Amino acid sequence: MNTPRQELEARVALAVGKAFSPVPPGPYVRPCPDSRHGDFQTNAALVQAKEAKANPREVAAQLIAALDLSDIADAPEIAGPGFLNFRLKPAYLAQQVRARAADGRLGVPTVVKPETVIMDYSGPNIAKEMHVGHLRSTVLGDALARLYCFIGHKVVADNHIGDWGTGFGMILYGYKREGDAEKLRQDPFGHLEGIYRRIQEESKTDETVREAAKRELVLLQQGDAKNRELWEQFRTYSLAALDVMYQRFGVQFDYTLGESFYNDMLPGVVAELQKKGIARESEGAVAIFSDGTLPQKDDPFLVSDKGEFRDNPLLVRKSDGGFNYATTDLATIRYRHDHFHAERVIYVVDGRQQMHFRQLFEASRRWGYTEMKLEHVWFGTILGPDKKPFKSREGENVKLRALVAEAEERAAAILTEKRPEMNEHERGALARIVGLGALKYADLAQNRNLDYVFTWEKLLAFDGNTAPYLQNAYVRIRAIFRKAGLTEAPQAEVILTEPAELALSRKLLDFADSIFMAAEEYRPHYLCLYLFELATFFHKFYEACPVLIAEPPVRDSRLVLCDLTARTLRQGLNLLGIEVVEQM
């Protein structure tokens, strides 16, 4: 099922092909910047006129003559220097609304060429509790995984956890000295983080502690039975605690292949990179340097320093023989290519890692992985009211568990004020959905590349671009059906005469476009904005167009509009990982 934009674009492309040669590249059709002048607009005449050095308005007139839109839109209007504006006919809108109401996917098509997509997100370290810094990667990655799955791709969600590295030497040394098995079982993060902080502090002034921690790490790397057993315990208890948080968030992974999974592959990766001349030894280490094939300003293995370019190598083996994140990431790319046959890998990791991924992707290209698309979907920082990175009063990263708990507590307080008659069990269940939904939506509604200021009052507001506003819009619609004694809309003809009906219908038909735009550009905030605008159009419709007191067949037609709006809100929020409720 084509969207109205896709249908118009196909007709415009056909007309361009008839009237002109060669056909200029698309896209041909975009939403009209000002809805007073139309629903959609094309600049095809301007593009063709530039190529032919002709008058754009004359070219636009030729294009109109070649267009056949009589069944879907009014006669196009030439605007400005040569734009064509289109206004969809009410009968076409009604037909399209009815088709979407009868479609379980609400008119959202699936992709023509599905891909196997690895979605790499969240990625916390074991032995450390998730904090506010993990929020964006977790909810953004989950939303993108849902979007890509919904439009027809085969999505593999992989939580690439940090479960290996130098920090475990300190943890092992400290645990052997002061560890408590029961505390580890009951509170793995608190116990292990406390040990790590103490040993890390001691190691700053006591060389014997530093050396002892190094020895424990070497023993682990060499496969020492005792250290391996302890490490397995740390990992098992940490993963169980992480699962509790992920279940609370409604986030699921297909695999949790941490850094340790690739450990045995690393020597082979470095050897192959050296054999192919991609990496070479330097000062006892092995690194990847510029090969001179890229312009200097675009080469991630070079950095400008006072107007001069110098080496910016990617280290793949340290001088002591150890490996690092880059080596593991390269091994991961090869595994994902060979094992999953991935065609696209999406890394949802914060913006501070942009240079790392530029180097990683270029190294992979030189290694031969040219057909697999590698994308770094980066995001900014969550800021506190002081516009500095969001911290607790003690100056530490806010724990994610505490953040979720506070969201639910604040939601419960608001619900107590609004619905004092609600019993405690109902209020608790609703507070979880509202609080967690508000927390997720506040993040997803932002342009991911920007930092944003976190404020409880804004994210839990029942007006504006927030989850509670959208959830409440869904509740209001469902209340209409309860009052009517119906569970779903009747099978009825759609009749559109009122301006508010037409405006709501146009917005309903934009659902698929918003989903594909959000997926293709890795920006769920496009979908958030769409849902907010849809809810706003519905409220205007609800105020201007009585539903239950209208006479048939208008009453049934408006019930179809209400039901399609509710289903679209529910589906859209579900793609963001946010639940709805029938009553609030």
Mean pLDDT score, 418-438: 93
pLDDT value of residue 289 = 98
With a pLDDT cut of 90, the percent of the chain lying above it is 84
Same domain membership, residue 538 and residue 492: yes
For residues 87 and 19, the answer to whether their CB atoms sit within 8 Å is: no
Same domain membership, residue 239 and residue 262: no
Global confidence as pTM: 0.94
Choose among 95, 96, 74: nearest CA to 86: 74
Same domain membership, residue 175 and residue 150: no
Residue 386 included in any domain:
no
For residues 51 and 21, the answer to whether their CB atoms sit within 8 Å is: no
pLDDT value of residue 224 = 93
Structure token pair of residue 257: 């292949």
With a pLDDT cut of 70, the percent of the chain lying above it is 98
For residues 61 and 55, the answer to whether their CB atoms sit within 8 Å is: no
Window from 14-23, 45-54, 153-162, 205-214 with minimum mean pLDDT: 14-23
Same domain membership, residue 221 and residue 82: no
The answer, yes or no, to whether residue 273 has pLDDT greater than 90, is: yes
For residues 77 and 70, the answer to whether their CB atoms sit within 8 Å is: no
For residues 438 and 544, the answer to whether their CB atoms sit within 8 Å is: no
pLDDT digits (tens, 9 = 90+) for 35-94: 889 999 999 888 888 888 889 999 999 999 999 999 999 999 999 999 999 999 999 999
Domains of the chain: total: 4
Same domain membership, residue 538 and residue 422: yes
For residues 50 and 59, the answer to whether their CB atoms sit within 8 Å is: no
Residue 393 included in any domain:
no
> Please, which pLDDT band fits residue 24 given cuts at 50, 70 and 90?
low
pLDDT digits (tens, 9 = 90+) for 341-352: 999 999 999 999
Bridge partners of residue 419, in order along the sequence: none
Residue 103 included in any domain:
no
pLDDT digits (tens, 9 = 90+) for 257-268: 999 999 999 999
Per the listing, tokens 């690194």 go with 287
Same domain membership, residue 279 and residue 156: yes
Structure token pair of residue 500: 């508010």
Choose among 72, 14, 66: nearest CA to 39: 72
pLDDT digits (tens, 9 = 90+) for 462-502: 889 999 999 999 999 999 999 999 998 999 999 999 999 99
Q: What's 48's domain CATH number?
A: 3.30.1360.70
Same domain membership, residue 489 and residue 549: yes
pLDDT digits (tens, 9 = 90+) for 176-188: 999 999 999 999 9
Mean pLDDT score, 403-414: 94
pLDDT digits (tens, 9 = 90+) for 295-332: 999 999 999 988 899 999 999 999 988 899 999 999 99
pLDDT value of residue 492 = 94
Per-residue 3-state assignment (H helix, E strand, C coil) for 60-113 = HHHHHHHCCCCCCECCCEEECCCEEEECECHHHHHHHHHHHHCCCCCCCCCCCC
The answer, yes or no, to whether residue 22 has pLDDT greater than 80, is: no
> Please, which pLDDT band fits residue 229 given cuts at 50, 70 and 90?
very high
For residues 113 and 371, the answer to whether their CB atoms sit within 8 Å is: no
Rounded to the nearest 10°, the torsion over CA 412, 415, 416, 420 is -150
Which of helix, strand or coil describes residue 520? helix
pLDDT value of residue 397 = 84
Same domain membership, residue 510 and residue 556: yes
**Which residues form the domain of 191?**
167-249
Residue 413 included in any domain:
yes
Same domain membership, residue 350 and residue 264: yes
Bridge partners of residue 84, in order along the sequence: 42, 78
Same domain membership, residue 298 and residue 238: no
Residue 336 included in any domain:
yes
How many C-beta atoms lie closer than 10 Å to residue 159's C-beta?
23
Same domain membership, residue 199 and residue 185: yes
34, 55, 88 — which closes off a domain? Answer: 88
> Please, which pLDDT band fits residue 394 given cuts at 50, 70 and 90?
low
Residue 97 included in any domain:
no
The answer, yes or no, to whether residue 557 has pLDDT greater than 90, is: yes
The answer, yes or no, to whether residue 230 has pLDDT greater than 80, is: yes
> Please, which pLDDT band fits residue 25 given cuts at 50, 70 and 90?
low
Choose among 380, 400, 390: nearest CA to 454: 390
Rounded to the nearest 10°, the torsion over CA 80, 81, 82, 88 is -20
Exposed e or buried b per residue across 344-354, where buried means at least 16 C-beta atoms within 10 angstroms of its C-beta = bbbbbbbeeee
Q: What's 322's domain CATH number?
A: 3.40.50.620
Q: What's the one-letter identity of residue 578? A: I
Mean pLDDT score, 112-119: 97
Structure token pair of residue 387: 């516009």
Which of helix, strand or coil describes residue 439? helix
Residue 417 included in any domain:
yes
Same domain membership, residue 450 and residue 550: yes
The answer, yes or no, to whether residue 525 has pLDDT greater than 70, is: yes
